[in-house]
Structure formats: structure tokens, C-alpha cells
Structure 1
Amino acid sequence: MIEELKKREEARQIRRKQADWNYINNQPTKLKLALVHYIETGDLYVSAKIAGITMEEFNEQRIKARIPHVN
């Protein structure tokens, strides 16, 4: 359990550090919130729902925002 929490926190830190915050902060509110949600959770499905776009479209935005996919 503790090991899993450590891995999640490490992944979150990597996503936070590598993200292009200038790009993220210049997006429409729903997409910005979705990108931040993804950074914090790594949940592509829910993040796409928040943004109101498909998972594929959200993944393209994740890449543009330089947010790495970390498990």
C-alpha cells in the first residue's frame, strides 16, 4: 500500500515538473481543468470527460502540453 502511494506521488511529480504550464494556463477553462486533473491523477478517461472531448483528442492535448504518460 505505501509502495503504491509512493509510486503515484513520483508519477505526479514527474507530470508536474515536465508539463508546459504556460500552454496549460492558456487553454479554455474546461481543458485547463482537465489537464490539471490528469497531472494530479493520471486518469485519461476522466480527464477527457472533464474536457468534454474524446480520449484521443485529450491525449493529443496532453502531448501538446508536454505531460508525460507515467504509470
Structure 2
Amino acid sequence: MELEEEAKKLRREKANWSFIEKQPPKIRAALKYYIETGDIRRAVYISGVDLEDFRELLRKANIPIVV
């Protein structure tokens, strides 16, 4: 549980919030969901884009993929 909290904190701190807030509602919601949960599969579903495109959005938003 502690590792999950650490990962969430890292995602929150590194995220480019101005980029995230400029995204369309579904993308914005998916990025925020990923930051809070780390669940990339559900975040991709929420976003409505494919995994490759979502990973590109994560890169542009400076959100690290923590495993």
C-alpha cells in the first residue's frame, strides 16, 4: 500500500497540470484517473483512444509510468 501512495505522489508531482487542464474532458478525466490509480487499462478505456496514443499523452503530460 505504501508503494502505491508513493507512486501516486510521484505522478502528481511530475504531472504537467497546465497541459492536462487544456485537454478535452474525456482525455483530462483519463489522465487524472491514471494519476490517482495507476490503472492504465481503465484510463485508456475512459479516454477513448488506443494505448499507444494514451502513452503519448502521458509522455506529453510528463506523467511517469511507475511499476
TM-score norm. by structure 2 comes to: 0.97
How far apart are the structure 2 equivalents of 1:24 and 1:53?
15
Deviates more, 1:37-46 or 1:15-24: 37-46
Counterpart AA for 2:17 = W
- Equivalent residue pairs, number: 67
Alignment of 1:32-71 (within 5 A): 32-71=28-67
Counterpart AA for 2:54 = F
Counterpart AA for 2:7 = A
Kindly provide the CA deviation profile for residues 15-68 of structure 1, in whole angstroms up to 9, marking residues without a partner as x. 000000000000000000000000011111110100001111100000000000
How far apart are the structure 1 equivalents of 2:64 and 2:51?
15
Which runs of at least 4 in structure 1 moved beyond 6 Å after TM superposition? none
Question: Computing the radius of gyration over CA atoms, which structure comes out larger, 1 or 2?
Answer: 1
Is 1:23 aligned with 2:43?
no
TM-score norm. by structure 1 comes to: 0.92
- % identical equivalent positions: 43
Structure 1 gaps, min length 5: none
How far apart are the structure 1 equivalents of 2:47 and 2:19?
15
Counterpart AA for 1:28 = P
Structure 2 gaps, min length 5: none
